[in-house]
Amino acid sequence: MSAASALVAWAGCTTGHVFRTLDGGATWTVDTVAGAARLDFRGIKAIDANTAVIASAGAAEQGQAHIYRTVDGGKNWSLTWSDTTKGIFLDGLAFWDARHGFTFSDPVGGKLVILTTDDGGASWTRTAPANIPPVLPNEAAFAASNTQLAVQGTSNAWIATGGGKEARVFRSTDRGRTWSVSSSGLPGGTSAGLFGIAFADALHGLAVGGDYAIARGPTDRALRTSDGGITWVSAGSNAPDGVTTGLAFVPNSSPPTFVAVGAHGTAITRDFGASWTYGDTLTYWGVSVAGSTAWATGPRGRVAKYTGLPK
């Protein structure tokens, strides 16, 4: 899910479908991207009512790694990037503004595959592998919520990982051209790591994660940073119970407010994860915030909209 405003939001789906609303969710249109019936769109960025970029998650060697762009409200989609290299598996999309963004893939040759765009997704440039730290054995990211990557300001970016022996955070301060990495202190594993990350400013951020094989329980964790993601500490003794799949920051909120979603509903925190206020208990995987409106998406086509979030 990606919201452009309180009225305009886009959602990616399976079987090549993309949904769009222009009236705050009262009605939706659905488009099927030509030739994409086998694709699962888990990365999406809504630029405005007419412009969006989508990325499919799946094995590149099976023809499932594609990026598309529309400038006419989804009537036509242009294929702007694809690859068939074994190991490539796109995990999400994030944009600093209408022109500058990045996406990334699971590792190839021991390095994450990171792509950047400076023309709104019309073309993509691969970051030199020499500018990316090596991954740990089995380290990658979980392509579920499109919030395992985050951007802030005009050039800061973060990627949250899992799968390896520990969850880590990759960070860039130059729009994805060069990267460094830090341990989060959270144990990783086949189904464990960080699933959502978001920043209130260049220094202060929050990350959530756990083990998705255990939908709710002792593995759920929230971590905070006050130095731009270099070091991470436990957010507090109150775990984000069952809401560790997706995370989003509420822009211009004071105190800084984050919205989390997961297998057991929604929650917000106003103190960087030290405490949580819970909402409903329905399952959601993705979350996006525009202004004081939050959107969440879940299984079986479920979409929820929350208005009047704390400012």
Q: Which of 19-28, 185-194, 302-311 has the lowest mean pLDDT?
A: 302-311
Superfamily (CATH) of domain 133-305:
YVTN repeat-like/Quinoprotein amine dehydrogenase (2.130.10.10)
Per-residue pLDDT tens digits for 108-155: 999 999 999 999 999 999 999 999 999 999 999 999 899 999 999 999
Taking residues 193-205, report their average pLDDT. Answer: 98
Per-residue pLDDT tens digits for 47-74: 999 999 999 999 999 999 999 999 999 9
Confidence category of residue 2, pLDDT binned at 50, 70, 90: very high
Taking residues 177-194, report their average pLDDT. Answer: 96
Q: Looking at residue 90, what is its pLDDT?
A: 97
Confidence category of residue 310, pLDDT binned at 50, 70, 90: low
Q: Is the pLDDT confidence value at 311 over 60? A: no
Q: Looking at residue 64, what is its pLDDT?
A: 96
Per-residue pLDDT tens digits for 260-293: 999 999 999 999 999 999 999 999 999 999 988 9
If you average pLDDT over every residue of the chain, what do you get? Answer: 95
Confidence category of residue 21, pLDDT binned at 50, 70, 90: very high
Taking residues 195-223, report their average pLDDT. Answer: 93
Distance CA(18)–CA(12), nearest Å, equals 5
Taking residues 170-192, report their average pLDDT. Answer: 97
Per-residue pLDDT tens digits for 224-242: 999 999 999 999 988 899 9
Taking residues 23-33, report their average pLDDT. Answer: 94
Q: Is the pLDDT confidence value at 308 over 90? A: no
Confidence category of residue 158, pLDDT binned at 50, 70, 90: very high
| Span(s) in the chain for CATH 2.130.10.10 | 133-305
pTM of the shown model: 0.96
Per-residue pLDDT tens digits for 69-88: 999 999 999 999 999 999 99
Q: Looking at residue 217, what is its pLDDT?
A: 78
